[in-house]
Amino acid sequence: MTRARTLGELKASGWRSRSVRDELRGNLIAGLREGRDLWPGILGYGKTVLPQIENAILSRHDFILLGLRGQAKTRLLRMLAGLLDPWLPALEGCELNDDPLAPISARGRRLVEERGDDAPLAWIPREERYREKLATPDVTIADLLGDIDPIKAASRKLSLADEDVLHFGIIPRTNRGIFAINELPDLSPRIQVGLLNILEERDVQLRGFPVRFPLDVLLVFSANPEDYTHRGAIITPLRDRIASQVMTHYPPTPEISRAITDQEAWTRRDGLDLRVPEFLREAIEEVAIVARKSEFVDQASGVSVRLSIALLENVLSNAERRAHRLGQRRAVARVADLFAAESAVTGKVELVFEGEREGPAAVADRILGDGVLAVFLRHFPAPYRANRKKQAAVEEDLYKPIVDWFAKGNRVEVQDEDATGELAKIPGLADLVRKHLKPADEDLEAGCELVLEGLHRSSLLAKEKGSYGDMLKGMFEGFQEA
């Protein structure tokens, strides 16, 4: 389709202007009727968040996404641009993206008056009609709305009462588009006040300038509930004028969480065949679930889905590094690689006071270990069972050959940088793994590591610097060192 180059050609084509809200609403309705995937890559929100966003669009509402870190709030806001028309005509050279049929700026009105149907047009792609700003305490009204420009007045010899001396901020420059403010509570209260007229009266006022500009802009916001008390607040009048509030959440099931991780993580490594055993893949997702319940982690701050993504990537990288050092073309990720990837955990969790006392590394080790233990108990019988009189726990017989082997003074080193091959020789261990995990041959050693770590986390084996040994002997050695 040939796009009109002048106002006259646009009129002749039969084009009709519509507000950005009507545009979004109309395109959403068309997408729903056609059964298109309007939110590609967004998982776990199909029956919760997405219907609420669609309702807000159908209602022509400004809205806010409220949720903890790593809940795809910014991604969802950016995807709104996909509901805009591919191209939008505007008067050429007008910084407010003036509607050719109803210009609002002085320059746009003059252009139509002087050139008439010969007024030139520019076509704006949908991507340029979405803009966003990260709210920070140093954001000013001039940044968002604009201000009087004395330099422009002096250079053009204009009065400060002339509309042409105005310098527009980012919101007016997004006229006929979508403007997003991330982390809204970080915006100072006096700056939030400047948004009130835009949200309700749909106009913008600059200082005491007598001219008002009726803006056509959809305002959308994101915020973390934690920010309401720790870093700032959304002033009551502003909250009242944001028509819809949509609550986001973390993946409701481990399966959805895993699908998100698989979608987002970088897992393909050139020139190397990397494999992650199924049980280890389960453990990676379990770590995030454990972190969201940990007493050492500030749950009000949340644990991002980025933790699982970064953890999977680091586990693969550690296995890759080992393979390159050993000159191998294939590598199987192991439990040792999971603990070597603790840097993916330490930077993703906010610790409470008790966690700070323990230290980030200790908390990460505990979270990783609890994740492994959860997977171990999912596939293997619990190491302890209560007897009929509910007295002291009794060790299960199937683990006895393994524990007895260590009780004889044997130890085994499991280092993430070394090749494996010794674990399957521990009496009863390989048979136990084959029975309950049914692993592929290349996953056997990794499965043996899972059992040893599970027994360690169940207090049946000692572990120090990657070396597993007898629990009782380890305790006596600890007493002697003390």
Instruction: Dump pLDDT digits (tens) for 54-73.
Output: 999 999 999 999 999 899 99
- Among 352, 376, 400, identify where a domain stops: 376
* Residue 235, domain member (yes or no): yes
* Total domains present in the chain: 3
Whether 2 maps to a domain, the answer reads no
- Looking at the domain assignment, is residue 11 inside a domain? yes
Q: Mark whether 213 and 296 lie in a shared domain.
A: no
**Res. 209 pLDDT band, cuts 50 70 90:** low
Mean pLDDT along residues 73-89 = 97
pLDDT at 208 over 80: no
In the chain, the percentage of residues whose pLDDT exceeds 70 is 91
199 vs 241, residue with greater confidence: 241
Q: Which of 281-285, 412-416, 435-439 has the highest mean pLDDT?
A: 281-285
Residues 18 and 115 in one domain: yes
CA atoms within 13 A on the CB side of 407: 8
Domain that holds residue 306: 267-376
Instruction: Judge if 339 and 417 occupy the same domain.
Output: no
My answer on whether 181 and 291 are in the same domain is no
What element of type H or E holds 258? helix 254-264
Let me know: does 308 contact 264? Beta carbons within 8 Å.
no
Looking at the predicted structure, is the pLDDT value of residue 445 above 70?
yes
CA angle 227, 231, 234 (to 5 degrees): 60
User: pLDDT at residue 27 above 50?
Assistant: yes
Q: Could you tell me if 119 and 243 lie in one domain?
A: yes
Q: Give me the pLDDT at residue 203, please.
A: 74
Q: How confident is the model at residue 389 (pLDDT cuts 50, 70, 90)?
A: very low
Residue 161 confidence (pLDDT): 60
- My answer on whether 40 and 160 are in the same domain is yes
Residue 253 lies in a domain: no
What are the pLDDT digits (tens) for 213-248?
Answer: 788 999 999 998 865 444 568 899 999 999 999 999
128 with 19, same domain: the answer is yes
- Its pTM stands at 0.88
pLDDT, average across residues 281-302: 94
Specify whether 396 is located in the same domain as 372.
no
**Structure tokens, 179:** 């403007």
Give mean pLDDT, residues 104-125: 94
Tell me if 225 is assigned to some domain: yes
Collapsing DSSP to helix, strand or coil, 100 comes out as coil
From 219, 247, 275, give the residue that closes a domain.
247
- The answer on 344 and 419 residing in a single domain is no
pLDDT tens, 123-158?
999 999 999 999 988 898 889 988 877 777 667 766
DSSP string for 112-159 = HHHHGGG-BEEEEEGGGGEEEEE--TT--HHHHTEEE-HHHHHHHT--
CATH number, domain with residue 44: 3.40.50.300
Distance CA 463, CA 209 (A): 72
Residue 318 lies in a domain: yes
What is d(CA 471, CA 455) in angstroms, rounded to the nearest whole number? 10
Do 69 and 150 lie in one domain? The reply is yes
Note whether residue 104 is domain-resident: yes
Does residue 338 form part of some domain? yes
194 shares a domain with 335: no
pLDDT at residue 229, rounded to an integer: 45
Q: Are residues 164 and 205 in the same domain?
A: yes
Mean pLDDT (the chain, rounded): 89
Last residue of a domain, one of 376, 405, 425: 376
